[in-house]
Chains A and B, each alone.
Chain A
């Protein structure tokens, strides 16, 4: 498998002075064993410049093969490995150990790194959750180009300014870090959630798209943008740095200016 990871591990054990002994405290759940989740500690010697995902790989490959988590590209693009690390939603593949580990004065690790599944979704096993409700909300905002009129024979032109209007929200990788950090979503899964609104925003403000009105109507719903409490959890959680709350507010503003 991923050779760069293995190389770095070898390097690390050669000069073991800079390695940290870190405890990974992982919230496990296996419905084939118990109906209750439990916390399990794993101690790892790990280079602080490695990522949390490298630690999880070490555990899965060398210590406990039953540890279950999603990851695909492992480089912050596919959005598979969003998890709650030290109580904050992050991508395991973009989080360096040195950025989240707490050291005492003598340079020893003073606290374990806690890792759990993202909140507000059904945990199927360990860190794997059921993403169906999340993608249902995504589908419900029609995340695709709807253009009226004849299909042009060439590409659909767009000015740089028009493209910049929704540039921020094109960065979404659908990792669900924002939606699963939203306290409204935790309590009511029928709320569209930040990710769906971000992806609606991406088309609502696209000059080539003709269904903005329809999408606004969808988000004018009881479970739409008006349920946002602007707690900014989503903006903090987004591993792509999208200003999620701002996007939601822009949709609200579009809805209001459309009416008045």
Chain B
């Protein structure tokens, strides 16, 4: 047949031949993919958490488009842009409950949306259970801290602070 092989000179088979560590009785370890499914993989977890999280991502995303774009427009574009922002500007806005609710909704939705997004990324990419646990622990701590601190500031903001 007209077939011809041009095996690369530096291929592994050439180099290790004769002095190979591996043979029929001692095969090399195969490379297994992360977290393969076996018969022992836990079956169905109860509850709808994943579905609720998935729905939350869609719904909060839609709301955030309005909230965040509106926020950016007001802060950065209208009325002289970013140069107008100062303590007085923030104090003036937070005197109005409408902007308090706006900022509160934006804070909670953005933090939970981002937290859930990072959670899925950790689930997708972290292979070892310990890595997953630490990354998620760090993520949840940071999220809860930011959400609580932000909420506290919005509600207890004192425009007369010295």
On A, residues with C-beta under 8 Å from B are 9, 13, 16, 19, 23, 28, 30-45, 58-59, 62-64, 120-124, 130, 132-133, 136-137, 140, 183-184, 186-190, 217-218, 220-222, 224, 226-227, 252, 255-256, 259
Contacts and interface: CB of A to CB of B under 8 A. Distances in A.
Contacts of B120: 227
A35 B124 contact: no
A58 B3 contact: yes
Q: Helix, strand, loop or mixed for chain B's interface? A: loop
Interface string B10-29: 01110011001111100111
Contacts of B29: 31, 35
18 contacts: A19-B2, A36-B12, A38-B11, A39-B11, A40-B5, A40-B8, A58-B1, A59-B3, A63-B4, A121-B33, A132-B36, A136-B38, A186-B33, A188-B34, A189-B34, A218-B44, A226-B50, A259-B51
A64 B2 CA distance: 13
B51 A133 contact: no
Interface residues of B, number: 46
Contact of A217 (B11, B36, B44): B44
A32 B3 contact: no
Contact of B3 (A40, A43, A226): A43
A16 B2 CA distance: 10
Contacts of A187: 34, 124-125, 127
